[in-house]
Amino acid sequence: MIYIFCAPSGSGKSTMVNHLLTCHPDLFELSISCTTRAPRGQEVHGREYYFVTVDEFRQRIANDEFIEFEQVYDGLYYGTLKTEIERIEQAGRQVLFDVDVKGGVNLKRILGDRATSIFICPPSIDELRRRLEGRGDTSPEMIEKRLAKAEEELSYRPQFDRVVINDDLQHAFRQLDAIIDRSASGVK
Ligand code: ADP
Ligand code: 5GP
């Protein structure tokens, strides 16, 4: 099974994905995307992302290396490499995708029943702002851009197989664990 995680930035997608990776390091592995944005904080090339220039990104588009790609924020490109699914499945693990809502809908359309798409929903826009500010690694200008986009992103929620409301963290983890258990036992 492949799991696609989507949410407005700051809703807790990374927190949910990291929960699965920490609890089941032998079961799951995160697909590493290409991006043209600069590394933040402690991010490392080849671990969180493959950080590339716009020219390199364009070359990879021309080489047909992406399953999907999006200009997620003004001038910043993000793309899923076809080779990531092969790399992770050959290692005997299940693929986790952390992508924007449009990328998630596209991946689900392409992967069909092989994938479960999961939308992580923030309790409110005010709480989303608090989390983005609290994370302390995104500039005030970028926070405003991400909040402006959140409203539109929330409208994609009905297109997903499952929704997790990330209010109380432990409750959200339990919701996610139940989704994974159901998928693993083949329940639709
Ligand atoms: P995303 O990957 O969706 O951008 P993160 O997982 O980085 O979001 O979460 C954004 C911030 O909110 C982080 O500082 C994270 O620790 C915090 N956070 C995540 N889930 C919760 C929660 N349920 N309650 C309070 N803070 C949370
Ligand atoms: P961030 O800059 O916070 O790491 O990510 C910004 C947004 O881009 C997030 O919503 C993240 O999920 C999304 N993203 C990361 N990789 C990809 C990708 O390969 N494709 C798409 N469509 N979105 C991605």
Q: Which ligand ends up closest to the CA of 122?
A: 1
- Domain coverage including residue 133: 2-184
| Residues within a 6 A CB radius of ligand 2 | 9, 33, 37, 68, 70, 72, 78-80, 98-100, 103
Q: What is the pLDDT along the chain (188 residues), one digit of tens a residue?
A: 899 999 998 899 999 999 999 999 999 999 999 999 999 889 999 999 999 999 999 999 999 999 999 998 778 999 999 999 999 999 999 999 999 999 999 999 999 999 999 999 999 999 999 999 998 888 999 899 889 999 999 999 999 999 999 999 999 999 999 999 998 777 66
- CATH for 53: 3.40.50.300
How many domains is the chain built from? Answer: 1
Global confidence as pTM: 0.94
Q: Which ligand ends up closest to the CA of 106?
A: 2
- Which residues, in sequence order, are bridge partners of residue 95? 29
